[in-house]
Amino acid sequence: ETGVTQSPTHLIKTRGQQVTLRCSSQSGHNTVSWYQQALGQGPQFIFQYYREEENGRGNFPPRFSGLQFPNYSSELNVNALELDDSALYLCASSSDRTGAYEQYFGPGTRLTVT
């Protein structure tokens, strides 16, 4: 069984640029959620994707967008990067068949905006 993988591991971008982060879900999981974890804080829910559509969204602006592909992998895109976007971005996969109560996290992508 393959776990959740994310790429890249680390990324440095300049304010105003755009970034794309990638996530491959665990085998058998069809739902992907993205979280932002700022330094010293708990993760915050960004949005969730199911069947290639956004299923729910947290309190994040529209410049945070995502995609889910037929193989259930997902991308998180952030436009017009701001310094406060510097954080660890975590992807979690789950299955609607088990009620999505268990979410399995990837190792994260550390984004630094300068």
Q: Kindly state whether residue 66 participates in binding other proteins, applying the rule CB under 8 A.
A: no
Q: Catalogue the E-assigned strands of the chain.
A: 5-7, 10-13, 19-24, 31-37, 44-50, 53-57, 64-68, 74-78, 87-94, 104-105, 109-113
Q: Kindly state whether residue 41 participates in binding other proteins, applying the rule CB under 8 A.
A: yes
How far is residue 68 CA from its own chain's centroid?
11
Residue located via tokens 């190792």: 107
Beta-carbon contacts of 42 under 8 Å, excluding residues fewer than 6 positions away, are none
- Supply the minimum distance, in Å, between the C-beta of residue 99 and other proteins: 5
Q: Kindly state whether residue 60 participates in binding other proteins, applying the rule CB under 8 A.
A: no
The one-letter amino acid at 81? L
Candidates 25, 26, 31, 68; binder of other proteins (CB under 8 A) is: 31
Residues contacting other proteins: total by CB under 8 A: 29
- Supply the minimum distance, in Å, between the C-beta of residue 49 and other proteins: 10
Residues making contact with other proteins (CB under 8 A): 4, 31, 33, 35, 41-45, 48, 50, 55-56, 58, 90, 92, 94, 96-97, 99-108
